[in-house]
Amino acid sequence: MTDATRWDFLGSYRATGIDTPHLDELASSGVRFERAYTTQPVCAPARSALFTGTWPHTNGTWSNNMAPGLDMPTLGQRLHDRSVKTAYIGKWHLDGTDYFGNGRCPDGWDPEYWYDMRSYLEELSPEERQASRDPATVEGPGVSEEFTYAHRCTERALEFLEDYAGEDFLLVLSYDEPHDPGITPPQYAEKYRDFAFPHDDNVRDDLADKPRHQRVWSGPRLAEDRDAGFERRDPRYFAAQEFVDAQIGRVLAAVEHHAPGALVVYTSDHGDMLGSHRLYAKGPAMYDEIARVPLLLRKPGAVCGGVAPHPVSHIDIAPTILDHMRMDVPDLLPGKSLLPVLREPAHRVNDEVFVEFGRYEVDHDGFGGFQPMRGVFDGRFKLVVNLLSDDELYDLADDPGELRNLIDDPWCSARRNRLHDRLLAWMNETRDPFRGAYWERRPWRADAREETWSYDGLTRQRPDDPGYQPRLLDYTTGLEMTETVRRK
């Protein structure tokens, strides 16, 4: 996986001028998921869902620098406990410390191969550390490939593949690139020095009918004249995408040599706004620029060059891997295996997918602070409830740039309300700790129920996770529960 790769950075999704030949080859030899979504468009929450198989609001990582709860085993733990070799190489961002991690290998992963960003920094001199974080490093004489984090992660992955060829394993290779500072050898940055990423009409969105927190986020960009001359230039970002693609190419070649029967999964944690809707980076929004992610899967014997058109989610990755390893998927994991889609790309596994947001960062006061959001997408309509701001509804079939907010449009009120009902049900089903009547009683929902203290009046205990938690007990009897959902 990479960090902050937009879905349309890959040539197999959209020809923009960024070269990604190795990922495009992976797409042509496997299945490309056209509508894949992160669970939350911020690093740590997105990763928490990928590696625990649970929603950020379930595992406790609903902001950067918050770690999953101790009762949430990772994929590494689940497979290691079944004698599968597991290695995690690269950015982790799930130990609750800082951007770089604490350098300590978590339970379930092989300490010999563990290599987070702190591990990398501790190999460098103080001067080299600063150079590795300074965007200006790519100017002047630049850096060697061997200096970069991506190269060093790749080297460890190649060692692992050689050491465990012929065995069952889970290898996670988590690059920081193309996330800033985008340190690459100089030839990559030079190639994109005069490159402008193509933009859509939504760079001129005036945000007039959009949530007020987006207008605050936009800041001075809201007053910019973008009718002529606006360009999206970020040489380091675009160069880092091609550079990390080259590193991935080295790994894919080694997979072909050492593990030709492997299931290969590629994705990114989230995208980047790049000026769309006059916003930057990522944060409290569910626009496709940041919530939609690239997702490629390849399994020998499955479809080659297939395109899966229906919505899928990062929450589906953990069940897919467990299914591939012929392991039971516990009730605790809400996602669905995507292996049937590798046999028939038109197969639909989800009626809807969901995206959430809590907070961008615990350490920083900025980035909008607490912005509780829940969204649902059914393949055409996307509903976003911004609890402390204004809500959104988009018809992506007619408005792929998400320019027209239809939340109050009577034409689609029935579809909107059905999506809203499904969103509320999902919050209940997943035991969302932030659920309550305030999500239902929105200004546009005339038929919302009266607010009551008991809300739905149900007890919803944690689903079973055999081998990791005993069956929970009923509060009123002290006996094992017979149903996870029941009247209180």
Q: What is the pLDDT of residue 128?
A: 95
User: Which pLDDT band, with edges at 50, 70 and 90, does 180 fall under?
Assistant: very high
Percent of the chain with pLDDT over 90: 97
Say what the pLDDT of residue 434 is.
97
Catalytic residue from among 93, 151, 277, 310: 93
Q: Residue 142: its pLDDT value, please?
A: 78
357 with 41: CB under 8 angstroms?
yes
Q: Structure tokens of 168? A: 């069952």
Q: Give the Cβ contact number of residue 242 at 10 Å.
A: 21
For range 62-74, the mean pLDDT:
96
> For the chain, first and last CA: distance in Å?
43
Please report, for the chain, the start and end positions of each structural domain, with discontinuous segments joined by +: 7-351, 457-488
| Active site (annotated) includes residue 412 | no
> pLDDT of 432-445, one tens digit each?
999 999 999 999 99
Q: Mean of the pLDDT values across residues 191-198? A: 95
- Across residues 369-386, what is the average pLDDT? 98
Identify the active-site residue in 22, 43, 213, 324. 43
Instruction: Report yes or no on whether pTM surpasses 0.95.
Output: yes
CA distances from 175 to 89, 116, 232, 388 (A): 8, 10, 24, 34
Question: Per-residue confidence at 453, pLDDT binned at 50, 70, 90?
Answer: very high
- Model confidence over 122-138: pLDDT tens digits? 999 999 999 999 999 99
Find out whether 392 and 384 touch, Cβ atoms under 8 Å: yes
- pLDDT above 70 covers a percentage of the chain that reads 100
Confidence of residue 106 (pLDDT cuts 50, 70, 90): very high
Q: Is the predicted pLDDT of residue 479 greater than 80, yes or no?
A: yes
Instruction: Write down how long the chain is.
Output: 488
Pair of tokens at residue 78: 């689940």
Give pLDDT, residue 228: 79
pLDDT (0 to 100) of residue 52: 98
- Bond into 220 cis (ω within 30): no
Angstrom distance (rounded) from CA 64 to CA 359: 8
Confidence grade of residue 229 (pLDDT, cut at 50, 70, 90): confident
| pLDDT number for residue 139 | 85
Side chain identity at residue 334, one-letter code: P
- The class of domain 7-351 in CATH terms is alpha beta
Average pLDDT in the 369-378 region? 98
For 329-357, write each residue's pLDDT tens digit.
999 999 999 999 999 999 999 999 999 99
For residue 254, pLDDT over 80 is answered with yes
Q: Report the pLDDT value the prediction gives residue 165, as an integer from 0 to 100.
A: 93
Q: Phi and psi at residue 173, in whole multiples of 5°? A: -120, 105
What does the pLDDT average to over 277-297? 98
Mean pLDDT of 73-78: 98
Buried b (16+ CB within 10 A) or exposed e, 45-69: bbbbbbbbbbbbbbbbbbbbbbbbe
Is 43 annotated in the active site? yes
227: pLDDT confidence band, cut at 50, 70 and 90?
A: confident
